[in-house]
Structure 1
Amino acid sequence: MDVFDRAALGPLTLRNRVIKAATFEGMARGALVSDDLIAFHRAHAAGGAAMTTVAYCAVAPEGRTQRHQLWMRQDALPGLRRLTDAVHAEGAAVSAQLGHAGPVANARSTRLPALAPTASFNPQAMRLTRRATVADIERVTAAHATAARLAVEAGFDAVEIHLGHNYFASAFLSPRLNRRKDEYGGSLANRAKVALGAARAVRDAVGDRIAILAKLNMDDGVPGGLWLDESLQVARWLERDGSLDALELTAGSSLLNPMYLFRGDAPVAEFAATFKQPVRLGLRLAGGRFIRAYPYREAYLLESARQFRAALKLPLVLLGGISERATMDLAMAEGFEFVAMARALLREPDLINRLRERPGTRSLCVHCNKCMPTIFTGTHCVLAGNANEEKDAVQR
């Protein structure tokens, strides 16, 4: 396979095999699409991505990480339609990442109770989460179906179901976070019911009208959390159920160990500056225990992802440390159908086009991760300046 060949993804045909991964944009004031959000995704479409992923589209108001975040409802449809039209005008497809933040939701910001498998404390919100009832689980599952139907109506080509990062479904999968004694706790089969149910609800709601992906944690990156052995089994069940067209492989816990996914520098001071007291002081004093630094290397999730490629026939999306053409070619050679890029494209939205035209192009991303705290003010690379001057410098 060549990464720049056209590729089938469920009912879609994509112009290449490179997906702009979901990165919360922080551009949805009032939980609605803004002109800035449209411009953000249009730039990635114009820059060569086969498909750009809108993140994050909560399926319920309490499922947002903070109140200025999209949630799927009728009021959002006009803006979502403008966004999908803009991406399509650039020749790319567009996906809506659907999910429920669960215990990661900031209840102080959303002004609604955050839901978790088991009641726990969220230090960011300085609030307790509420134990989800069976009725809550059924409501959230049904909300995934409703959100998927709205995505179709809004003109999206795909949806990506968020089953990672200890959001709602992922928290149920985690033995550390899920200490329930009912039919949603204990055994892996019980803990997987929320994830499998959400995927099935979406498939039943939209059929084959759009492509359906899911983002699944391979490893939570915390002691006692979900690890490869159990995640592999969940992936096998998802494949068996036929609810997905592809699986994107991720890692880490937004609640307990966010940098496990990102690798590179840990911007503790920058994160602390975005919060009010006492959270700011707490992060300055002890943030290094939560926002930990992990060494960066290209394709840093590949070793774990190989376990899934060996076990599944389902198309897989390789994520994590994809910034060079050689890494893309390696992923294709190892049998991954797609690759997903995020931080490198924040630095250079047109990097994909330049990698196609000049395979030796080197990304300008230095993996400082200072883009991460900008999610509160509009996600961007803090090093990006005049794009034309930077391109000239690289070519020289």
Structure 2
Amino acid sequence: MSKENPSSISFETAFAPTKLGNSGLSLKSRFFKAATYEGMADHGIPNQKLIDHHVSMAKGGVGMTTVAYGAVSSDGRTFKDQMYINEASLKVLKELAVRVHDEGGRVSMQLTHCGYFTKNKTSKKVLAPSKIFNAYGFLSGLIYSEAMTLNDLDRVANDFETSARELQKIGFDAVEIHLGHGYLLSQFLSPLTNKRKDQYGGSIKNRSRYPLYVVDKVIKSVGPDFPVLVKLNLDDGIKGGFSLKDCIFVSKKLEEIGCAAIELSGGFTSKSPFYLLRGSVPLKGMIKNASSVAEKLTMALFGPLLVKKYRFKENFFLEKAIKVREEVNLDLIYLGGIDSKKGIEEVVSNGFNFIALARPLIHDPEFLHKLKQGEIDKSGCNRCNACIVEMDREGIKCVLN
């Protein structure tokens, strides 16, 4: 599949079966559940809540549900109890895949590495493209990252490849490699965090060299029938960061190496976290969730200055995403503020192949069914963003329900 004539997709056909990229993978609709960190693991092992969460998405009509933040190694976690791809987690994830398939859905795993954005003190060292101050982890004693050596680059790339192969073996239908939001591969892409002087730093051609190598390595390893998707920033949302021009360059390269689809996103977790989310900033809940008195105090004193608020409007990334749609032919997944039937119609009329949603489905997993049947024409999500506070409690959920 490739860039489609906008007239070939409508609100109605978005709910019809289709295929993903050139892989031949059949999906029951064009809707994706976007990866949203669930916080549903016990000591790093996925629990029953995670299974039920993604089964509810498949029941609700999404073609593909995406399990969020599957770290490719123990030192790829942002904190020690986060899930990573190992024998114990794969056992539960295999059951998750079976259950999603029973509901006619498909399931993908978002594969990533945190880079320097970590407070995981069990890591042997904090890795990043360059030596970077770690505002997220400095109160845990992880003040600076170490610039990755060539051996580090090889090891982490192998971790991505191995994780993808293991997920393929247990019945997952695809993987999504995270090149966005300020995690390791995004840190290579952004000139704010990549200060290298070798072949992996400087121009966007060089800054994208390692992330593209990782994606290409995974694609070649899993074969043409197993889709490898990428989450990529339209931009970082901060001055001097990864730009829309950079995004178009990387998107064209991803098309060349056989990426199945790109999910366009934005924001840099440690610098512009609500650039992606938009809406209210639940600062009180974030302070309450802080893991130490020092973190609570820091957040209380400086949170309003450090965490910028962005006004929500439906399809807030669409104007920039259209610029990418005009330049590339591979499948594109639109993400960013879809809230209604009208919003979906606007996205598909601009030639996007798939639609990714998160908060409307967290608010109500039956959102798509109700929309299709005409029971509602708009999500009940009010963009309070209190759901993200729940990630660090008992798992992501809508506080309105």
Alignment TM-score > 0.5, same fold: yes
Aligned to 1:329, what secondary structure does the other structure show? helix
Alignment match, 2:98: 85
- Residue in structure 2 matching 1:48, options 57, 61, 64: 61
Aligned length: 383
- Residue in structure 1 matching 2:243, options 227, 236, 254: 227
Alignment match, 1:38: 51
Matches of 1:40 and 1:145 in 2, distance apart? 27
Matches of 1:142 and 1:224 in 2, distance apart? 31
- How far does the alpha carbon of each residue in 1:370-392 deviate from its partner, in whole angstroms, 9 at most, with x for none? 1112211233334233xxxxxxx
1:165-314 matches, within 5 Å, as 165-242=181-258, 244-275=259-290, 276-314=292-330
Task: Look up the equivalent residue of 1:150 and give its one-letter code.
Answer: E
- How far does the alpha carbon of each residue in 1:337-388 deviate from its partner, in whole angstroms, 9 at most, with x for none? 0010001111111111111111743211000111112211233334233xxx
- How far does the alpha carbon of each residue in 1:96-131 deviate from its partner, in whole angstroms, 9 at most, with x for none? 1011111222233x4443211111222221122222
Matches of 1:315 and 1:290 in 2, distance apart? 35
Unmatched 5+ stretches in structure 2? 1-8
Q: Is the 8 A contact 2:115 2:187 kept in 1?
A: yes
What is the deviation of 1:218?
1.1
1:125-204 matches, within 5 Å, as 125-126=137-138, 127=142, 128-204=144-220
Task: Look up the equivalent residue of 1:285 and give its one-letter code.
Answer: L
Distance 1:359 1:134, change over 3 A: farther
- How far does the alpha carbon of each residue in 1:55-113 deviate from its partner, in whole angstroms, 9 at most, with x for none? 111111111122222211223221111110111111110001011111222233x4443
Higher relative contact order (CA 8 A, sep 6+): 2
What is the deviation of 1:143?
1.0
Task: Look up the equivalent residue of 1:16 and give its one-letter code.
Answer: S
Matches of 2:160 and 2:384 in 1, distance apart? 34
Matches of 1:285 and 1:54 in 2, distance apart? 34
Matched, 1:7 2:18: yes
Q: Is the 8 A contact 2:39 2:396 kept in 1?
A: no
Q: Is the 8 A contact 1:264 1:294 kept in 2?
A: yes
Unmatched 5+ stretches in structure 1? 386-396
Aligned to 1:278, what secondary structure does the other structure show? helix
Matches of 1:379 and 1:329 in 2, distance apart? 32
Give the CA RMSD over aligned residues. Answer: 1.3
Matches of 1:196 and 1:111 in 2, distance apart? 25
Aligned to 1:216, what secondary structure does the other structure show? strand
Task: Look up the equivalent residue of 1:29 and give its one-letter code.
Answer: D
Q: Is the 8 A contact 1:164 1:216 kept in 2?
A: yes
Q: Is the 8 A contact 2:18 2:28 kept in 1?
A: yes
Task: Look up the equivalent residue of 1:96 and give its one-letter code.
Answer: M
- Residue in structure 2 matching 1:113, options 111, 118, 125: 125
